[in-house]
Amino acid sequence: MRRKTLQVPVGDIFIGSDYPIVIQSMTNTATDNINDTADQCIKLFNSKAQLVRITAQNIKEAEALKYIKQNLLNKGYTHPIAADIHFNPKLALLAAQYVDKIRINPGNFVNLFPNNISYTSEQYNLELNAIKQEIEKLLPVLIKNNVAVRIGVNKGSLSPRLIDKYGNNIEAAIESAIESALIFNKLNFNNLVISIKTSSVYETISANRLLIKKLDKIGLNYPIHIGVTEAGIDKQGIIKSTIAIGNLLLDGIGDTIRVSLTGDPLKEIPAAENIINTYQKFLPFPVLPIYDYSLNYCPKIFNNNNLDDGLPPNDFDFLEINNKDAFGLISKELKNKKYINLKIKSSDFNLYELCIILGRGWIDGWLRDLYLVNDNLSKDTLNDIGEILQATGKRKILTEVISCPSCGRTMYDIEKITKEVKERFSRYPGLTLAVMGCIVNGPGEMKEAQAGIVGNGLNKANIYIYGKLISKNIPIDIVVDEFEKQLKNHNLI
């Protein structure tokens, strides 16, 4: 059952529990290229996206939103668009005259002391008051133009002020969201949507569960936008997104979603539709245990082709499930047991079903080993199971590649570079690499990686190792070669 929320108007749609889950995406064209951006919006709307976000990183791009909106209306598209704002509250004031929704990142909306590592109480309060003042300036424009706001927190771009107080963790991310929501609420503005995203599946699920508990406790029943940031490319991104989004939806959390896939945003829409259709198959959802997340047990994957972990032992105790009542069968078994093993015929389940069922079991801790039964078990299915296991953090089989979906700030072919990085450095279990679109959020949001490539201008990129800038303005056609050289120099491969 979905969590009961306010119903927030965004243009000609509503986001909230009384309405269907809204699928959204984001353009990756240059925002000041008005025709290209409007055309991509139209393609996304025609693909069943209901809301499209557009970056506005300077005055020229914020002004371009006016003409993009006009272009859409002239072609008969009344669908809402949102502006993505970072670092500059003045751009929010400008963009709010033209769009239906503003996304602000409280981690970088106002930073009075950007180079601080440690904050005094006075500095902490000064910055908090500055945020309130900027929101107060924004409110009349929001109200006049009927514009909603998403408070969009990314764990990779948290305020140094909150990192100093709580640490670089989900507690700081939750506090960041609630802090901003309370400011709006006390100013009697409640057309808000809240999101907390990380590149970790477990942290995304955990953070949103805890966020809801805290919001409901203080009576802030705002709708929630969910997704995994920097989920990655193609199937890897779909797997991570499906585990997190699908299971949060089963918890009743989530009123709008985005599947953030590197490359063409049109790929995101069918993936989002598949997640929604799949989670609905499992309703009504039974109450299942949630244990403390632990990496102490490494699950085994048995299969009758005698690959990977081989055949299960003779005394292997398993529950055989089907895709008709998978969670019902699991619920009955867990009434008498704390942990279970599952036996499934792989051909009975599609990828999205496997992601939600296995992902939940491994994230919440009640699933141990898996027995895949199928004489024609394909290598692709085994790889998919491995990716699911890796996405939950329970076993590192491959190199983890974090890559942002890209937006109008990206000025190189990020999809091509991500694929090259993934192929060239795939077999280093425990290594996490990042490929990020721009220096606006890239350096901060690749903190989970040991090394990364971050776009910096037209067809150029910087290389970071352990968060430090190592090489700058490398031509994009040789950046992966330079990246390999630096990984070797720093004994990462």
Q: What is the rounded distance in angstroms from the CA atom of residue 395 to the CA atom of residue 391?
A: 8
The CATH number given to 400-489 is 3.30.413.10
Summarize the confidence of residues 33-46 as an average pLDDT: 98
Question: When comparing pLDDT for 78 and 295, which is higher?
Answer: 78
Q: What is the rounded distance in angstroms from the CA atom of residue 330 to the CA atom of residue 345?
A: 15
The domain segmentation of the chain, as residue ranges, is 8-226, 301-391, 400-489
Peptide bond into 299 cis (omega under 30): no
Which of 82, 127, 88 minimizes the C-alpha distance to 105? 88
Summarize the confidence of residues 348-370 as an average pLDDT: 96
- pTM for the model: 0.94
Task: Check residue 419 and give its pLDDT.
Answer: 92
- Consecutive H or E run containing 400: strand 400-403
Q: What is the rounded distance in angstroms from the CA atom of residue 288 to the CA atom of residue 310?
A: 29
Q: In this structure, are residues 150 and 256 in contact, taking their beta carbons and an 8 Å threshold? A: no
Please determine, for residue 448, whether its predicted confidence score (pLDDT) is greater than 90: no
Q: Which CATH topology does 8-226 take?
A: TIM Barrel (3.20.20)
Please determine, for residue 305, whether its predicted confidence score (pLDDT) is greater than 70: no
Task: Check residue 375 and give its pLDDT.
Answer: 64
> Tens digit of pLDDT for each residue in 102-152?
999 999 999 899 888 899 999 999 999 999 999 999 999 999 999 999 999
Q: Which of the four pLDDT bands, split at 50, 70 and 90, describes residue 335?
A: very high
Q: In this structure, are residues 177 and 133 in contact, taking their beta carbons and an 8 Å threshold? A: no
List Cα–Cα distances, 10 to 28, 100, 222, 346, in angstroms. 21, 6, 14, 41
> Tens digit of pLDDT for each residue in 372-397?
887 666 778 888 998 999 999 998 88
Packing angle between helix 34-46 and helix 59-74, nearest 10 degrees?
A: 50
Q: Which of the four pLDDT bands, split at 50, 70 and 90, describes residue 469?
A: very high
List Cα–Cα distances, 474 to 173, 410, 425, 465, 482, in angstroms. 33, 15, 19, 15, 8
Task: Check residue 427 and give its pLDDT.
Answer: 87
Q: Which of the four pLDDT bands, split at 50, 70 and 90, describes residue 71?
A: very high
Task: Check residue 114 and give its pLDDT.
Answer: 82
